[in-house]
Amino acid sequence: MTSAFNVRARHGARLAAVLMLAACAPADSTPDAAYGMGRTPDATTLAAMDRDVDPRGHGLPDGEGNVQQGAAVYAAQCASCHGARGEGISPSPALVGTKPAAGHVFARDNKAPRTIGNYWPYATTVFDYVQRAMPLTAPGTLSANDTYSVVAYLLHENGIVPAAAVMNATTLPAVRMPATRFFVRDDRTGGRVFR
């Protein structure tokens, strides 16, 4: 039997969800003509989102950071979710760790922890991800210098770069990640082409 309190609580939760969705609606909610939903971003909005870094480092911004600076930024911006040393706090994943060793058991064990030290193929991908998605509470708000610093710290904690490492647009693409050799380019031909 459902109590009146439970019914009111469910209705209250639904109302809160509707109000949150309404608050998230864009000011100009004219649907995009091509798809009939969403809206086409203006040039300023698009420029702010159009930041990507490829494995060779194309797209890396000016700036630099080091391991010591990264430790401070990590403690302030990342440790509350990922742990004081990158060990992970559920549900946030571990960032530091080399076990299982970069032998790629991941195809056989989908529960094996994927960390920067045992799974990520490119250091530039770490930068790209941190730049656009972290910290979780305010994605994309770290400066280029802070992002380089956090990446330097995480690479050092995973035993990939020395404590004196400085990361920038030149040094970061030169970092060789332990798992790089396990990722191969998909050069298959034939079949349907996706774009």
Is the backbone of residue 48 left (phi > 0), alpha (psi -120 to 50) or beta? alpha
What is the distance between the alpha carbons of residues 186 and 157, in angstroms, rounded to a whole number? Answer: 31
Rg (CA), the chain: 21
Q: Given this model, what pLDDT does residue 149 score?
A: 98
30-44 confidence digits (pLDDT tens): 666 777 778 788 888
Answer whether 0.75 is exceeded by the pTM. no
What is the distance between the alpha carbons of residues 44 and 21, in angstroms, rounded to a whole number? Answer: 24
> Minimum mean pLDDT among 2-11, 49-58, 96-105, 123-132: which range?
2-11
Q: Given this model, what pLDDT does residue 35 score?
A: 74
Tell me the helix, strand and coil percentages in the chain, rounded to 5: 40, 5, 60
In angstroms, what CA-CA distances link 11 with 2, 15, 123?
A: 13, 6, 47
Ranges of each domain in the chain: 52-182
Q: Given this model, what pLDDT does residue 84 score?
A: 97
Q: Given this model, what pLDDT does residue 136 score?
A: 92
Model confidence band, residue 52 (pLDDT cutoffs 50, 70, 90): confident
Average pLDDT, the chain: 85
Residue 41 exposed, middle or buried by CB count within 10 Å (0-12, 13-18, 19+): middle
112-164 confidence digits (pLDDT tens): 888 999 999 999 999 999 999 999 999 989 999 999 999 999 999 999 999 99
According to the per-residue pLDDT averaged within each range, which of 48-57, 163-172, 179-188 is highest? 163-172
40 phi, psi to nearest 5 deg: -75, 125
Average pLDDT over residues 100-115: 77
What is the distance between the alpha carbons of residues 131 and 127, in angstroms, rounded to a whole number? Answer: 6
**62 pLDDT above the threshold of 90:** yes
Average pLDDT over residues 2-27: 58
Q: Given this model, what pLDDT does residue 103 score?
A: 60
CATH number of the structural domain 52-182: 1.10.760.10
> Minimum mean pLDDT among 26-30, 71-75, 105-109, 124-128: which range?
26-30
